[in-house]
Amino acid sequence: MSYSTPTPRHPLVEFADVLEKALAEVVDVDPAYLSTEQKSDLLRRLTPLVSQAEGVRLRVVAASEDVAAEHADKRVADWVARQTRCDKRAAHAQQSLAEALDARWTRIGGGVTSGRVHLDQARVIVRALDQLPPQIGPEVRRLAEERLLEFADSFGPRDLVKLGDRILAYVAPEVADAQELKALEAAERRAETRTRLTYKTRPDGSLEYSGVLPPSRARSSRPSSTPSPHPDAATKPADGPTQPPGNASPPTKSAARRSETSSPTSTPKTSASTAACPCRCS
């Protein structure tokens, strides 16, 4: 009697079997009867679990070029979209992300499958890393990936977009400064190519200018937004007699007398009996 040895099942196939069975058992369960604490716990647990499951699926997508070849599809995303009736553009975006996590940014891919990085975080991190200048060396790229992986522990996708745009400033400040200088020079050159200035003569003989200037020239030629005041604007109103600044009333006679007596330059009055003769004739 001969016995056939069963073919061992791949762990990923077993994972799909277990997942299908577990979902079938709870698909009709109403979560409304859960307590608030239980709902909070489930939301915290299920959200990363779904992301982890999607990370596993993306790993399978990245390794399924043979599926596309067998069915005469250009990419496996075309086959997935047709078989699962999902959006074709979304399927292609998912394949691009899968290839990036599998080939270029494996640390981020490991973070997704381990639950450390949410899939939404992974998308913006990969976008930032793919936008690094081509002349950046592999060591700087590695440091950028590791730092963004650390940022993912504390920041969500929106903040990671900003951090990703400035990642070189964190891992290679000198490179970031050089890149920023090159970008400014390139922008200036592009602006120079679009520079134009035309004018036409108006009926009164004045010239009317119109054109486009680069930022450096525009700043130096921009007129002041505050017109220069007339030198007499503070003391001469549009109509009526001249008034002192601040609409102050003219001094009264009593105030004028007080000013004279208290002025340090006024000469004090002395009586004849008390005045001393400078020659001491008395």
- pLDDT per residue as tens digits for the range 202-211: 888 888 878 7
The least confident of 165-179, 206-220, 255-269 is 255-269
User: What whole-number distance in Å separates Cα of residue 267 and Cα of residue 156?
Assistant: 80
The rounded Cα 97 to chain-centroid distance in angstroms is 22
This prediction has a pTM of 0.64
- Please enumerate in sequence order all residues whose Cβ is within 8 A of that of 250, keeping only pairs 6 or more positions apart, or say none: 244
CA gyration radius, the chain: 41
pLDDT in tens, 99-116: 999 999 999 999 999 999
pLDDT at 272 (0 to 100): 42
Vertex 211 angle, CA 209 and 213, to 5° = 125
Instruction: Identify the residue with better confidence: 58 or 7.
Output: 58
Q: Does residue 233 surpass a pLDDT of 70?
A: no
Question: Which sequence spans correspond to the domains of the chain?
Answer: 31-104, 117-188+196-214
pLDDT at 266 (0 to 100): 46
Tokens representing 83?
Answer: 């078989």
Vertex 133 angle, CA 166 and 144, to 5° = 50
pLDDT at 231 (0 to 100): 47
Straight-line distance from the first to the last Cα atom of the chain, in angstroms, rounded to the nearest whole number: 161
Tokens representing 217?
Answer: 């020239």
